[in-house]
Structure 1
Amino acid sequence: MARSIYLCIFLLFITWIPILSTSFPLSTKTRWIVDEKGQRVKLACVNWPAHLQPAVAEGLSKQPLDSISKKIVSMGFNCVRLTWPLDLMTNDTLALKITVKQSFESLKLFDDALGIQTHNPKILNLPIFNAFQEVVSNLGQNGLMVILDNHLTYPGWCCSDNDLDAFFGYPNFDPVIWAKGLGKMATLFRNVTNVIGMSLRNEPRGTRDYPDLWFRFMPKGAEAVHAANPEVLVILSGIDFDTNLSFLRDRFFNVSFTDKLVFEQHWYSFSHEGGAWVKHNSNDICAKIIGEVNHNGGFLLDRGFPLILSEFGTDERGVDVSGNRYMNCLVAWAAEKDLDWAVWALTGDYYLRTGTKHMVETYGVLDATWKNVRNSTYLQKLSGIQHPFRGPGLQEKKLVLHPHTGLCVTTNHSGNVPTLRLELCTQSESSTFNPKEGILWVNKMCVETPDVAGQKVKLGVGSKCSKLGQISATKMHLSFKTSNGLLLCLDVDERDNIIVANPCKCLTKDASCDPASQWFKVL
């Protein structure tokens, strides 16, 4: 019951998050994205697909456009990665001569056409591209930034290795036509201030995804966008379904501009060894895969380039053990790097996906009504990485994040003696931990560990500070030994989010258990 009440409070809190005022346009300053005043802007985005048939942003047959935009804001996002098919810019018939109504009716989606007439009558008889413009405009009216993501060539679902538009030179991926389409889209949104970036192509892949071809054609797309609209960020994806940018380690990417260049990377539970998250201990596999993700793309941050984790997510029904374990690991890494990101996806369901009408998107943050949050616990987990921890123009805040809940460690003053509990990170007090010293300080008080398992962790003023160690491959278990030599770790009582001490669990090798409740990421 306590956990349910807490989630209700969380949802009430994010409903009242104010729209942040940002000074546009955005640019880059070393690894950070900054506004016109040089202050860091953290992108906390959600993907909104508009690239499938019928080439209209999903969900508009279920809810008014403005209601969806306001719902995005209420969930704590400040940005939308809005997908689009290249055909929207290279086929004037699709873009300007086919109306929304005609597009739906041609696919026999009569119920959806009626739904749009009910909820969004303004766009029903608009050409497809004008309806796309209406979506971008309404997002801007609600204070939401937009990244325009060229997802594929022709409207449909993406992605597989054998797609005809998988990589440069494939039958449906002409690099010259692609660059022209990007330039045209950039031109059409040149004076739309909330369009802050353009992602050049989603998930390049296939048997030809050679770095040489990437270096040959990707700069041409980047230059086409920058020439047409020098204000927007130019966002480049890697190869292997955008999981791999490692070829940039020893080869320079040469374009005529620098302060608009951003890279993007994708990471899903299935991006690596099949079944890895259930075959291996969570600490062991998390540390291993984070090493791979850093090698394949994270290194760019250290070299002074912004990196957006532009797709990630999992089944929000909670039934995917691999996905659940992966998300805890990912949130810890995203917090450590203080990444910009875009979760997949907003979608409650799709008009038409691979021939199936109204297929539910289990990765979607909204349910099939497009009105309700699918999983408030999942959304709370994301809240832990929605706000910046550091960057130009910001005062750095030291925190200890609990990735499993998305909450941070803070002081609990409800009893006679101060103890520790979890709270929304935006409302948590500063916490510092020096690994060499081993002392965890929260609000100028230090942790005093109990001598018996199951007891609350107290705070004191310095005379009885306990020394904690960071153990396991992830270094996310904060451990100590009792007077009789028992190894205990900080843990969370899920009934009330109070921090207690329990026997350390799942430290290594054992793949059958989940250590998530004992993971604490020092930021």
Structure 2
Amino acid sequence: MRLLLALSAALLPSIVSSFPNTPFKTSSQWVHDSTGENFTYVGVNWPGAGEVMIPEGLQYQSIQSIVSKIKSLNMNVVRLTFAIEMIDDIKDRGGDVTLQKAFQKGLGSNGDKVFQSVIKNNPQFTASTTRLQVYDAIAAELAKQQIYVHLDNHMSKGKWCCGGNDGNTWFGDTDFNVNNWKRGLQYMADHSKKWPNMISIGLRNEYRKPDKAGSSLAYNWQVWYEQNKAAADIVNAANPNILVFLSGLDYDTKLTPIPNADDLGGGKKFRLSDFSYKDKLVLELHNYQNSAKACGDIEGGLWNNGFRATGDKAVNRMPVVLTEFGFTQADKSYNGVYATCLRKLMPQWKSGWTVWVISGSYYIRSGTQDFEENWGLLNHQWSDWRNKDAIAALKGMVDETLKAVNR
């Protein structure tokens, strides 16, 4: 008996600390796993919200190959984007669309050719495999390689994001049906319960002011609060285990009134205490100040626009994750002011991030099929890194961020 107890005690730490250690929760500026250890997002964006509404790259590589590339950088999370239109099809148009039909619809006469390439690289799929089953397969491979999933509602209508006239800018815009949005978030929060590595969901990517009047609701912080609070309530009820990410205004570059509970309009203020699930909320920001001449300009902007919430003087002290930043991989931008500044700031602030973007190419972007993505970490065929010097610098950012949190 004593021997069994001793063996049990010896095995316990490895069992407790084994992946995935969910659910996660927040405390002050930190995210903690179920063992109480700090977790910091260091990962990459994998788009899936384009016209085909299937995560990119599968016509060139297997899911396993792509995930292995991500794992080789020691990244721990993928920001996996989706469109609400995928759920609208399931709910209102006869069910989830098959892989073959998705490519036919998104790419026209070229759809069947691309589909054949996808199933050649990923023989687990067939003509009857659905779009959501592809997401399931990606989540499963990420779990197999011990990488977490952060879902992100990128668009309502499946297409390239983002612009002021794309119909997806703000609540009530041409394609931004608020009820469908909330329903879609609820559906994905519930569906992803079966993914053991599912840890969080972003309610919406890059709120922005419409170029023309088209939304039924005013573009202001009061509406932002009302709609996000309602959506977060729905998501938390559907899956209380996952974290909920809140993005800001002006293409998610501003969360200015949130850290210090400033007036949002009409006397409304954001207070963590108003949320019964306050230990499940995270703020997210984007930054693309590629033309910055000094790191101080980037640092001051990021801090004042939202990262102040990680400071000890914040009224609403919360984690903040830089869920999008990036630059071309086709030159030496990785050595420029912008890239080197962010490589310094994220470890300094002990904050997480997900870089834009893994995609070396897109099925279709803005009407161009097989679109070349020079910002992609991978080359056009998704077979190797586009710029190995840039990747070495990014790997250093991964290591330094994780090291800083564990100090």
Short-chain TM bin: 0.7 to 0.9
AA of the residue aligned to 2:403:
F
More displaced 10-residue stretch of structure 1: 111-120 or 259-268: 111-120
In the other structure, the counterpart of 2:39 is 41
Contact residue 155 and residue 168 of structure 2 kept, 8 A: yes
1:215 and 2:225 matched: yes
Give matches, 1:46-445, under 5 Å.
46-92=44-90, 96-106=95-105, 107=107, 108=109, 109-125=111-127, 126-207=129-210, 208-248=218-258, 249=260, 250=262, 251-253=269-271, 254-269=274-289, 276-277=291-292, 282=293, 285-302=294-311, 303=314, 304-318=317-331, 324-387=336-399, 388-391=402-405, 394=406, 396=407
Whole-angstrom CA distance in 2 between matches of 1:95 and 1:296: 43
Q: If each structure's helix is expressed as a fraction of its own residues, which one has the higher value?
A: 2
Q: How far does residue 117 in structure 1 lie from its aligned partner after superposition?
A: 2.3
Whole-angstrom CA distance in 1 between matches of 2:19 and 2:73: 17
Whole-angstrom CA distance in 2 between matches of 1:42 and 1:94: 39
AA of the residue aligned to 1:136:
A
Q: How far does residue 256 in structure 1 lie from its aligned partner after superposition?
A: 2.2
Identity %: 30
TM-score with structure 2 setting the length: 0.85
Contact residue 46 and residue 358 of structure 2 kept, 8 A: yes
Contact residue 26 and residue 231 of structure 1 kept, 8 A: yes
Q: How far does residue 169 in structure 1 lie from its aligned partner after superposition?
A: 2.0
1:369-410 Cα distance to aligned partner (Å, 9 max, x none): 21201112212222233142344xx4x2xxxxxxxxxxxxxx
Q: How far does residue 21 in structure 1 lie from its aligned partner after superposition?
A: 3.4
Structure (1 or 2) with the larger CA radius of gyration: 1
Q: How far does residue 37 in structure 1 lie from its aligned partner after superposition?
A: 1.0
Contact residue 269 and residue 314 of structure 1 kept, 8 A: no
Q: How far does residue 319 in structure 1 lie from its aligned partner after superposition?
A: 5.8
3-state SS, counterpart of residue 44 of structure 2: strand
Whole-angstrom CA distance in 1 between matches of 2:147 and 2:178: 31
Whole-angstrom CA distance in 1 between matches of 2:145 and 2:390: 24
1:25 and 2:23 matched: yes
1:110-167 Cα distance to aligned partner (Å, 9 max, x none): 3311211211132232011122211112211111100000000011100011221101
Whole-angstrom CA distance in 1 between matches of 2:149 and 2:295: 31
Whole-angstrom CA distance in 1 between matches of 2:270 and 2:104: 49
1:57-91 Cα distance to aligned partner (Å, 9 max, x none): 10111111111111210122111000000111222
1:235-255 Cα distance to aligned partner (Å, 9 max, x none): 110010000000213132432
Q: How many residues are aligned here?
A: 363
RMSD: 2.0
AA of the residue aligned to 2:119:
Q
Contact residue 156 and residue 354 of structure 1 kept, 8 A: yes
Q: How far does residue 309 in structure 1 lie from its aligned partner after superposition?
A: 0.3
Runs of 4+ with deviation above 6 angstroms: none
Whole-angstrom CA distance in 2 between matches of 1:376 and 1:30: 37
Q: How far does residue 193 in structure 1 lie from its aligned partner after superposition?
A: 1.7
Whole-angstrom CA distance in 2 between matches of 1:71 and 1:288: 33
Identify if the C-alpha distance between structure 1 residues 389 and 209 changes in structure 2 by more than 3 Å, giving closer, same or farther.
farther
Contact residue 79 and residue 149 of structure 2 kept, 8 A: yes
Structure 2 runs not aligned, ≥5 long: 1-16, 211-217, 263-268
TM-score with structure 1 setting the length: 0.66
AA of the residue aligned to 1:359:
F
Identify if the C-alpha distance between structure 1 residues 24 and 288 changes in structure 2 by more than 3 Å, giving closer, same or farther.
same
Whole-angstrom CA distance in 1 between matches of 2:39 and 2:362: 31
Whole-angstrom CA distance in 1 between matches of 2:136 and 2:66: 15
Contact residue 77 and residue 386 of structure 1 kept, 8 A: yes
Contact residue 314 and residue 324 of structure 1 kept, 8 A: no
AA of the residue aligned to 1:255:
F
Whole-angstrom CA distance in 1 between matches of 2:395 and 2:130: 37
AA of the residue aligned to 1:115:
S
More displaced 10-residue stretch of structure 1: 376-385 or 92-101: 92-101
Contact residue 89 and residue 95 of structure 1 kept, 8 A: no
Whole-angstrom CA distance in 1 between matches of 2:38 and 2:333: 35
Contact residue 46 and residue 342 of structure 1 kept, 8 A: yes
Contact residue 289 and residue 298 of structure 2 kept, 8 A: no
